[in-house]
Amino acid sequence: MSLLLCQKRSMHRSEITIDLGAVRRNVKTLLRALDGTGLWAVVKANGYGHGAVDVAGAALGSGARAVCVATVPEALELRHEFPAERIVVLGPAEGRDVAHARDAGLELCVSSSEIPDRVRVHLKLDTGMGRYGLSEVVEAPEIVGLMTHLATADSDREFALAQVERFEELTSSYAHLTRHVANSAAALRLPEARFDAARCGVAIYGLSPFGEDPSADGLEPALRWESHLAQVKLLQPGESTGYGRRFVAERPTWIGLVPVGYADGFPRAATGTTVRVAGEPCRVVGTISMDSLAVELARELPLGSPVVLVGHGVTLEQHAGVAGSINYELATRIETRPERARRLVIDS
């Protein structure tokens, strides 16, 4: 077996670049699609792994009227950076979190008839999602908005329209309140779901809510993830790489080892997906390890050759399709701790 050992070199395991310019352009694309309906940028889960504070600033600066998060602690982090902006907490809040929300001027989404006092509330109605929500409107002076969540805006238009119709029936007498239904998928392709505001998450990051090529809806991925070849070796016929010997060479085969694995957020189930090595598409082979993955090379390449894991035509949608997952999950799993990756923020 021929082997080129990895030389010691002072480089990061991988590098994640967030392009806030792409976020700004995606917000403007959504605003054009919404045609007058307000856009609220969803930045929960640290901005789908992109950085909540950075994305919130870019979205608000490009026309978003509010930002939405899942928890009160997420909202409090944003409140320090955006003292005057509208921040909506989508998930349930109880006890001390309600008091913190009141003190910080946050808005809460409530799914029960118990409305907290002295805090702005959005009443959530269950029109078919089968999760949080009431079956009818209750009245309280704290309620400033009415909302529901679509279960199939990305997959079943008829069911989504039935939800919209049900919401309209429940809220037609309350048009003086802010009504919001649309998510990213509905904002792009379901105009019937436009009311006063749309809560858009995945699309502002340039990810497709339909699992398709994002460019089909004019979206531009904001995240780029790159690494390098840390080792290159030649497998002879019958030799394998990785746990379980899932890839066994049938002929002399060059493989490259990339210092990224499922602990970094590259899904273990994505064996068989394609990345780009030195500008060329290469297949991920063998079992993806905690800290490493292998790619099949067409020829011997030098150590340090660049590897694009996401970006430049390599999409999270593609990886998700191979892994049997969705781009939302993959984006939020990418690890950005400095000991795992270097994170760069640019504004193109």
DSSP per-residue codes, 63-97: T--EEEESSHHHHHHHHHH-TTS-EEE-S---THH
Query: pLDDT tens digits for 133-164?
Result: 999 999 999 999 999 999 999 999 999 999 99
CB 196 within 8 A of CB 184: no
Q: Is the pLDDT of residue 5 over 70?
A: no
Q: Is the pLDDT of residue 344 over 60?
A: yes
pLDDT band for position 304 (cuts 50, 70, 90): very high
Q: What is the pLDDT of residue 337?
A: 87
For residues 216-235, average pLDDT:
98
Q: What is the pLDDT of residue 9?
A: 41
Residue range 37-209, CATH number: 3.20.20.10
pLDDT above 70: percentage of residues in the chain: 97
DSSP per-residue codes, 112-161: SS-PPTTSEEEEEB-SSS-SS-BSS----TTEEEEE---SSTTT-HHHHH
Q: Is the pLDDT of residue 6 over 50?
A: no
Q: Enumerate the domain spans of the chain.
A: 2-16+222-346, 37-209
| Angle value at C-alpha 311, between 308 and 316, nearest 5 degrees | 100
Residue type for position 152: T
Instruction: Extract the tokens encoding 111.
Output: 């799914």
- Residue 59 phi/psi, 5° resolution? -70, -45
Q: What is the pLDDT of residue 7?
A: 37
Residue type for position 123: L
pLDDT band for position 4 (cuts 50, 70, 90): very low
Strands (E), the chain: 2-4, 15-19, 38-42, 66-69, 87-89, 107-110, 120-124, 143-147, 178-180, 197-200, 223-228, 231-235, 240-241, 247-248, 253-258, 274-277, 280-285, 293-297, 306-310, 342-346
3-state DSSP call for residue 47? helix
CB 203 within 8 A of CB 187: yes
pLDDT above 90: percentage of residues in the chain: 95
For residue 289, give the H/E element and its range: none
Q: Which CATH superfamily is domain 2-16+222-346 in?
A: Lyase, Ornithine Decarboxylase; Chain A, domain 1 (2.40.37.10)
CB 183 within 8 A of CB 201: yes
Active site residues: 44, 243
Report CA 72 to chain centroid distance, whole Å: 19
**Taking the alpha carbons of 333, 225, 218, 69 in that order, is the dihedral positive or negative?**
positive
Q: What is the pLDDT of residue 321?
A: 97
Query: pLDDT tens digits for 37-85?
Result: 999 999 999 999 999 999 999 999 999 999 999 999 999 999 999 999 9
For residues 73-99, average pLDDT:
97
Q: Is the pLDDT of residue 196 over 90?
A: yes
- Residue 33 phi/psi, 5° resolution? -65, -35
pTM equals 0.94
Q: What is the pLDDT of residue 1?
A: 39
